[in-house]
Amino acid sequence: MRFLLDENLEHEVFHRLEDHGHEVLHVDLSDRLSKGTSDSNLAAVSREHRFVIVTYDDDFRDDFSESEYHAVLYIPDQTLSAGTIADVLQEISTYYRQNELQGFMTVGRSWL
């Protein structure tokens, strides 16, 4: 799966997902992006390159139409550990293929 991690997600999530074999971009760790990259730029990268945005930010639900990005996994519980978030995303990847994830989804511990 191709994940695009928003800047507020811990770097450990990036490393754990890479260890599972996913293609992962993190706003802080990418040559193409940087801390402070606008949500509209993230949406464009998601749409153009079919990345699933992973974020704590509900702006993608409130400020964008689902046609402006490929997919967003919104994590409302910011107390989840990096390991739990990586486990949730890994579990989602066992149920969905990249092209099956579209639109805005709220995700959390219930996936485990």
pTM of the predicted model as reported, rounded to 2 decimal places? 0.94
Confidence of residue 30 (pLDDT cuts 50, 70, 90): confident
Answer yes or no: is pLDDT of 43 > 90. Answer: yes
Question: Cβ neighbours of residue 90 under 8 Å, at least 6 residues apart?
Answer: 17, 20
Ranges of each domain in the chain: 2-111
Which residue is it, tokens 């079919």? 50
Predicted confidence at residue 67, as pLDDT, reads 95
Q: pLDDT (tens digit, 9 = 90+) per residue, 54-75?
A: 999 999 999 999 999 999 999 9
Q: pLDDT (tens digit, 9 = 90+) per residue, 85-99?
A: 999 999 999 999 999
From residue 80, alpha-carbon distances to 30, 61, 98 in Å are: 23, 20, 24
Answer yes or no: is pLDDT of 112 > 90. Answer: no
**Around Cβ 35, how many Cβ atoms within 10 Å?**
10
Tell me how far apart the alpha carbons of residues 35 and 41 are, in angstroms, rounded to a whole number: 12
CA-based nearest residue to 51, from 2, 10, 93: 2
